[in-house]
């Protein structure tokens, strides 16, 4: 089997975070499969700070960007060293006497003046041949120098492009960190919201079971129809189906989050509430400031600078090459403008969503205040015997439902608020 040598640093990198298992394919003896066995942490409870810390530490994307940056730097240094070590072909120009007049009067003490006609003829013929050879060698050296000069220019251009790519890689790393943070917050909030919704749905199902029992008893006494019982049973069945679907989605999200942060999956994992969600209008930064600080506009600016540099430093052999450089510069400028317009739309959309989410929280807070006031009235009516305990419990579920809706609104607001804050750091999504 063909073996491939890898460097010690690469091997250590492969083994640093995971244990890799080597297996031979049964279908192809030359096909190898490498499956990593992750060492997972076991925890019983998580909070948002813990999850964010683990998400950044266990991210596979960030090490890849770091390796990419290192590879670009290594290649750039290699090209620059090759340019510095690249020599030039040289040939000292010289001319041998090649006419009768020159060989009979060389003017050079090292070359005697010839007088014998035979020597003159032979020397003229021989020197002419030598001069032609030296002229050919001179032309060859000139051609080689032209090729070397072109290669040197190409390597300088490639090295400069790698320098720009390195700048962009650093921006991509910072952008990836901000993206991972925002995505993890959204994952955590979604799970937290689903968990609270499941708790309410289970509570509501208990009330529906009591409704079914009540309808059954009334039906037995002739005070309700069998249709009422059937309607109550169908409502319970639908509620159970909805709960099952939500529970499956919750468990899937929990598996995905556990995988992302490197912990063992536990269906009973405690997801702690997010502390101190302050409800206040999102402070909006002007669009121009956000654009100037955004990672994408900085990357686009680097690409535009590179295109400008290339148009002034790239060696071309024809007018077609110069035209290409000009068109490429125009395209890069147009892409920069397009990026600005797209990010402007995203900024406006994010702030609009944040304003709507803030308004939704205020609405749900008002609804909760109103229903709590109504519950106090219902409680008084129960105490004086005007309504049954069952009716009071049903109204309590309504209060819990509004509380669940308020929690969902707060969580949505929190995610959008964090998304808006991320734009101030350069991440616009």
> Of 39-48, 135-144, 377-386, 397-406, which one has max mean pLDDT?
397-406
Environment class of residue 128 by beta-carbon count within 10 Å: exposed (0-12), middle (13-18) or buried (19+)? middle
Decide: 40 and 26 in contact? Cβ < 8 Å. Answer: no
* Crossing angle between the packed helical segments 117-220 and 389-424, to the nearest 10 degrees: 170
- Mean pLDDT of all residues in 381-401: 88
Asked whether residue 61 is domain-assigned, the answer is no
pLDDT of residue 56: 85
* pLDDT higher than threshold 70 for residue 296: yes
pLDDT of residue 400: 92
| Tokens 């509430």, residue located | 273
Please report which helix (H) or strand (E) contains residue 22, including its range. strand 19-24
- Mean pLDDT of all residues in 38-51: 87
362: which residues sit within 8 A by CB, 6+ positions away? 279
Three-state DSSP class for residue 270: strand
Total domains in the chain come to 2
Decide: 213 and 262 in contact? Cβ < 8 Å. Answer: no
Token readout for 142 is 């000139």
Percent of the chain past pLDDT 70, that is, above it, reads: 82
pLDDT of residue 343: 95
- Mean pLDDT of all residues in 97-104: 72
pLDDT of residue 332: 87
| Closest to 354 in 3D by CA, of 409, 416, 412 | 416
| Closest to 57 in 3D by CA, of 16, 21, 12, 19 | 16
Token readout for 301 is 């600016």
pLDDT of residue 90: 57
For residue 272, what is the DSSP state?
P
pLDDT in tens, 194-207: 999 999 999 888 88
- Mean pLDDT of all residues in 121-136: 74
pLDDT of residue 105: 75
pLDDT of residue 144: 65
Percent of the chain past pLDDT 90, that is, above it, reads: 38
Decide: 262 and 390 in contact? Cβ < 8 Å. Answer: no
Q: Which residues pair with 270 in a beta bridge?
A: 45
Asked whether residue 179 is domain-assigned, the answer is no
pLDDT of residue 285: 94
Asked whether residue 59 is domain-assigned, the answer is no
Higher pLDDT, 295 or 72: 295
- Mean pLDDT of all residues in 33-44: 79
Question: How far, in Å, CA of 329 to CA of 304, rounded?
Answer: 7
- According to DSSP, the β-strands at 270-271 and 32-37 are unpaired
Higher pLDDT, 112 or 167: 167
| Tokens 């997801």, residue located | 271
| Closest to 48 in 3D by CA, of 194, 198, 193, 184 | 184
- Mean pLDDT of all residues in 168-189: 91
* pLDDT higher than threshold 90 for residue 134: no
Three-state DSSP class for residue 33: strand
Asked whether residue 369 is domain-assigned, the answer is yes
- Mean pLDDT of all residues in 155-165: 80
Asked whether residue 56 is domain-assigned, the answer is no
Confidence of residue 39 (pLDDT cuts 50, 70, 90): confident
pLDDT of residue 21: 46
Asked whether residue 219 is domain-assigned, the answer is no
90: which residues sit within 8 A by CB, 6+ positions away? 141
Decide: 360 and 412 in contact? Cβ < 8 Å. Answer: yes
pLDDT of residue 371: 94
pLDDT of residue 345: 96
Confidence of residue 155 (pLDDT cuts 50, 70, 90): confident
Token readout for 382 is 């129960």
| Mean of all residue pLDDT scores within the chain | 82
Q: What predicted TM-score, i.e. pTM, was given to this entire model?
A: 0.76
pLDDT of residue 6: 39
pLDDT of residue 354: 96
Q: Rounded to an integer, what is the distance from CA 247 to the centroid of its chain?
A: 30
Asked whether residue 76 is domain-assigned, the answer is no
Confidence of residue 93 (pLDDT cuts 50, 70, 90): low
Higher pLDDT, 107 or 411: 411
pLDDT of residue 26: 52
Question: How far, in Å, CA of 48 to CA of 73, rounded?
Answer: 36
Higher pLDDT, 304 or 95: 304
Dihedral, CA of residue 307, residue 311, residue 312 and residue 315, to nearest 10: 120
Containing domain of residue 5, as a range?
1-39
Asked whether residue 47 is domain-assigned, the answer is no
pLDDT in tens, 331-377: 888 999 999 999 999 999 999 999 999 999 999 999 999 999 999 99
Confidence of residue 290 (pLDDT cuts 50, 70, 90): very high
* Cα atoms in the Cβ-side hemisphere of radius 13 Å centred on 114: 17
Of the listed ranges 75-84, 217-226, 375-384, the least confidently predicted one is 75-84
């Amino acid at each position: 089997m063909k073996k491939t040598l890898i460097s010690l640093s690469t091997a250590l990198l492969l083994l640093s975070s995971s244990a890799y298992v080597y297996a031979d394919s049964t279908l192809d003896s030359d096909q190898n499969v490498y499956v990593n066995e992750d060492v997972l942490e076991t925890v019983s409870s998580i909070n948002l700070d813990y999850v964010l810390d683990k998400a950044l530490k266990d991210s596979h994307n960030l090490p890849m960007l770091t390796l990419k940056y290192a590879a670009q730097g290594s290649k750039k240094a290699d090209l620059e060293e090759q340019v510095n070590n690249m020599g030039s072909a040289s040939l000292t120009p010289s001319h041998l006497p090649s006419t009768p007049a020159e060989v009979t009067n060389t003017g050079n003490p090292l070359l005697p003046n010839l007088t014998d006609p035979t020597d003159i003829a032979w020397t003229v013929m021989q020197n002419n041949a030598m001069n032609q050879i030296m002229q050919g060698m001179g032309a060859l050296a000139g051609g080689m120098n032209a090729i070397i000069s072109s290669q040197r220019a190409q390597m300088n251009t490639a090295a400069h492009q790698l320098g720009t790519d390195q700048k962009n890689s650093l921006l991509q790393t910072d952008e990836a960190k901000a993206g991972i943070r925002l995505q993890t917050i959204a994952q955590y909030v979604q799970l937290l919201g689903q968990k609270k919704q499941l708790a309410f749905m289970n509570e509501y199902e208990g009330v529906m079971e009591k409704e079914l029992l009540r309808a059954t008893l009334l039906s037995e006494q002739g005070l309700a129809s069998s249709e009422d019982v059937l309607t109550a049973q169908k409502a319970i069945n639908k509620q159970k189906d909805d709960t099952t679907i939500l529970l499956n989605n919750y468990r899937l999200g929990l598996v995905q989050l556990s995988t992302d942060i490197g912990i063992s999956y536990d269906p009973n994992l405690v997801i702690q509430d997010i502390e101190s969600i302050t409800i206040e209008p999102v402070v909006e930064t002007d669009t121009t400031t956000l654009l100037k600080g955004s990672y994408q506009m900085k990357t686009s600016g680097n690409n535009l600078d590179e295109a400008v540099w290339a148009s002034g430093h790239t060696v071309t052999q024809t007018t077609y090459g110069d035209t290409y450089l000009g068109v490429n510069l125009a395209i890069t400028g147009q892409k920069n403008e397009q990026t600005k317009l797209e990010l402007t739309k995203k900024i406006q959309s994010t702030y609009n969503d944040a304003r709507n989410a803030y308004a939704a929280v205020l609405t749900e807070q008002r609804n909760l205040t109103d229903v709590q006031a109504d519950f106090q009235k219902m409680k008084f009516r129960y105490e004086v015997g005007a309504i049954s305990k069952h009716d009071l419990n049903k109204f309590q579920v309504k209060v819990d439902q509004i509380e669940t809706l308020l929690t969902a609104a707060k969580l949505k607001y929190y995610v959008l608020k964090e998304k808006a804050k991320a734009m101030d750091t350069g991440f616009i999504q």
